[in-house]
Homo-oligomer: A and B are copies of this chain.
Amino acid sequence: MFATRDSVEQVEEGDELAPKFDANGLIPVVTTDISSGELLMMGYMNQDAFSKTVETGEAHYWSRSRACLWHKGATSGLIQKVMEMRIDDDQDTVWLRVEVNGGASCHVGYRSCFYRSIPLGKVQPGETVKLHYHESEKVFDPQEIYGDAPNPTKL
């Protein structure tokens, strides 16, 4: 389903889908909630995940931590239904606008992965920035859903 990338004009101003996968065969994917506009997560697709998303209308990613195709929600039930799938000017980034069964997208249990903010213009030299919380309650208990599965967060 992908065209070859022949010219800048074709890629930027044409109507052919010609995505650029990086040296690892991946393209970054930004996923927002179609109702709230909130950023839910950022992930990656390989060619297979990209094709499956286009064919099924459900978000598929490449899991870098587990090194496998990842049908989001297959374990937790929190499937992402893709309402709109966009691609950027140079076709090296994908934007998914999704509806989520159950309303949570973050493995820690929050609605969005982005539950903390960084205060701006207030840091003193040599001081570590303190984050501010935007979600006070988890939507689900990760222990109940994932049990003993390894945590994807890497230090």
Q: Show the binding face of A for B, using Cβ within 8 Å.
A: 1-3, 5-8, 11-17, 20, 28, 30, 32, 36-39, 41-42, 53-57, 82, 84-90, 93, 95, 106-108, 110, 113-118, 120-121, 123, 127-134, 151-155
Contacts and interface: CB of A to CB of B under 8 A. Distances in A.
A131 B17 contact: yes
A111 to B, nearest CB: 12
A39 B129 CA distance: 26
A45 B116 CA distance: 18
Contact of A39 (B95, B108, B134): B95
Between A41, A89, A95, A155, the greatest number of chain B beta carbons within 10 A of the residue's beta carbon is seen for A89
A56 to B, nearest CB: 7
A64 to B, nearest CB: 10
Contact of A118 (B6, B54, B108, B113): B54
A16 to B, nearest CB: 6
B154 A121 contact: no
A57 B121 contact: yes
